[in-house]
Chain A
Amino acid sequence: MTVALIGFAAVLILAFMRMPLGIALGVVGVIGFGELSGYRAAISNAARLVIDSGQSYGLSVLPMFILMGLLVEKGGMAKELYRAAYVFLGHKKGGLSMSTIVSCGMFSAICGSSLATAATMAKVSMPEMRRYKYHDSLATASIAAGGTLGILIPPSVVLVIYGLMTETSVGKLFIAGVLPGLVGVIFYLLAVKVTVTRNPDSGPAGDRSDWAERLSALKDVWATLGLFLFVIGGIYVGLFTPTEAAGMGAAGAMLIAWQRKTLTIASFMDVLRDTAATSAKLFMVLFGALIFSNFVNRAGLPDGLINIVNSFDASPMGVVFIILLIYLLLGCVFESLSMILLTVPIFAPVVEGLGFDLIWFGILVVVVTEISLITPPIGLNVFVLKGVLKDVAIKTIFKGVTPFWIADIFRLTLLALVPAISLFLPSMM
């Protein structure tokens, strides 16, 4: 176990020195495994992993779902989603922020990336909120927080990676993310409500829309929402495997973009190239993470941790809360993907050893990751927003995010204490 801890520390040092994360994980994994079982075996294992996971059927969901998200993002569908939410909620106090949250939730249903959700929705919703003189803190915070829903509401890149690392069903993980995602939307709406109740000037009401406008707005988004229902519904009722659903989803997004004439052949090729490059980037880290995971298991770290936990005679739920606390602390200094890749191989076996469901734990890990995206000092969604809205201070966004962060902590506690919220839908599959 000591060897594994030294390896863990070595990865952290190399990663902080800006060594590519995949290389850092891979180098430490091979050296660690080599020290324990010989270098020939270590290198052979690593090569085998690269060959097998580079041709993995299950992982083909990643490029296709990334493609679907990028097509929706470039296809200009975010504006229509925002309008659809606005016509129903805009007339309430804080209604534009609420519309932002709901449209982020809808956008997340097609796009598996939090950063893309935040960046895209910022361009659509911020001008509207500025027009109605929303305080920058509430406006930007609702985008940053709403954006985090991207990695929980399926499809989700993070859930695919978690599924691969823990060998749990990606389809079930996707379905398990639906209700916690909806709970997230509701809690964020409550956070907006609390903010505007305490300071009514921060989010004035917008214009009320009549039913003709509402119906027309819904007509504009039926294709996008239909695509979500088709893809996720198809997985739920067993019509498609996640890979097939991803392919159908990507093709559906292509058709929508083609019908709207939002993509030229050149921009379509750009989207394809971006998707392939992003996938390769993710796979580089995955190769490293899988090699590192082999080493950690060979060194007996998960077993060692389970023994320590047993020797303390702690309650299993207490252990889960300690793990979540560790995640919250790591989230303050670590970016999300690194955090998941480094910790899941260590914590997942412990949680499974304590008798918990790994699908439920996956949802908790993603929610904690969402929290890290808006936690100072390196909450990435906040920095993405800062990149898009250069005139807003980082401090202002972090200040506005506080009620959403508290809402997230409540949601995390609720999901930890009531596993049925995550497990009800997958249990019906």
Chain B
Amino acid sequence: MFNLIANIERLAGSVSRFVSNAAAVILFALVILTCVDVIGRYFFNAPVVGAVELVRICMAGIIFFSLPALFFKEDHIIVDLIPFFRSGMLAWLLNIIIICVSIFVALTIADRVFDYAIRAFEDEDVTEYLSIPRYIVVSFITLSIYSSALFAMVRILAMLGKPGEVPSADGEETL
């Protein structure tokens, strides 16, 4: 049983690394795209057609490729003020309940985002300049949120294998 959990955790870790790399590559592409657009506009009078749409798609790629890893590592921003909630059996239980709530929230939102994806598909909704079907991006967002819920479940499995042990929070203030 413990082996199975460890294997699932390892697999989730590998997937999480893969999606983090994908987010990193898209971020690099976003920087290059923005520069090419600005340089093209000022020096060659030829800005990238549909640059705004591409920037928006890149943003979705960066954020929603990173989201599952965020849930897997529980790397959220938290208010870590009361030591009582940091360790011990109660903290462990509370942590599991909080992750369950996170999963419920993710699944509820993902269901509705999926509705929007279906609507965009049925309406054949496309972007203004490049005519990129919007359902592709919205479906990707849906998949990302469902995956995040799945990754949070793996996190719970790992925690259940170590009763009373609260993993140290990776979340930190980012200002």
Contacts and interface: CB of A to CB of B under 8 A. Distances in A.
Interface of A: 15-23, 26-27, 30, 43-44, 46-48, 50-51, 54-57, 59-60, 63-64, 67, 113-115, 150-151, 157-158, 239-240, 243-244, 246-248, 250-251, 254, 269, 272-273, 275-285, 333-338, 369, 373, 378, 380
A114 B70 CA distance: 22
Given A272-B28, A276-B20, 9 more contacts: A30-B108, A43-B109, A51-B113, A247-B34, A280-B62, A281-B174, A284-B76, A285-B77, A337-B175
Given A16-B81, A18-B78, A60 B112 contact: no
Interface string B12-43: 00000000110111111011111101100010
Contact of B81 (A67, A251, A378): A378
30 contacts: A15-B78, A16-B79, A16-B81, A17-B82, A17-B98, A18-B91, A18-B95, A23-B98, A26-B105, A30-B108, A43-B112, A50-B141, A54-B64, A63-B62, A64-B31, A157-B174, A244-B38, A248-B38, A251-B34, A251-B35, A276-B65, A276-B66, A279-B62, A280-B62, A280-B63, A280-B69, A335-B173, A337-B173, A337-B175, A369-B175
Contacts of A21: 76-79
Contacts of A373: 175
A60 B17 CA distance: 23
A277 B28 CA distance: 14
A276 to B, nearest CB: 4
Interface in B73-89: 74-82, 85-86
Contact of B79 (A158, A279, A338): A338
A277 B69 contact: yes
A244 B82 contact: no
Contact of B116 (A51, A63, A283): A51
B5 to A, nearest CB: 23
Contacts of B172: 115
B11 to A, nearest CB: 19
A338 B76 CA distance: 12
B85 A51 contact: no
Contacts of A251: 31-32, 34-35
Interface string B87-110: 000010011001001100100110
Interface in B120-175: 137-138, 141, 145, 169, 171-175
**Would you list the 6 A-B pairs with minimal beta carbon distance, nearest first?**
A247-B34, A20-B76, A280-B66, A272-B24, A47-B112, A276-B23
Given A21-B78, A54-B141, A247-B38, A275 B27 contact: yes
A48 B112 CA distance: 9
A203 B95 CA distance: 47
A333 B81 contact: yes
A269 B27 CA distance: 10
Contacts of B8: none
Contacts of A272: 24-25, 27-28
B101 A23 contact: yes
A20 B81 contact: no
A41 to B, nearest CB: 11
B60 interface: yes
Contact of A276 (B34, B62, B98): B62
Contacts of A115: 172-175
Nearest to B53: A57
A283 B31 contact: no
B98 A20 contact: yes
A60 B94 contact: no
A247 B32 CA distance: 7
A47 B173 contact: no
A49 to B, nearest CB: 9
Contacts of A250: 31
A244 B34 contact: yes
B175 A277 contact: no
A20 B76 CA distance: 6
In this complex, which of A22, A115, A277 has the most chain B Cβ atoms within 10 angstroms of its Cβ?
A: A277
A169 B73 CA distance: 34
A284 B75 CA distance: 11
A280 B171 CA distance: 12
Contact of B66 (A60, A114, A247, A279): A279
B52 interface: yes
Contacts of A240: 38
B118 interface: no
Contacts of B58: 60
Contact of A273 (B23, B30, B108): B23
Nearest to A52: B56
The winner among B21, B74, B78, B116 for most chain A CB atoms within 10 A is B78
Given A18-B98, A26-B105, A281-B77, A336 B173 contact: yes
Nearest to A377: B81
B21 A269 contact: yes
Contacts of A246: 34
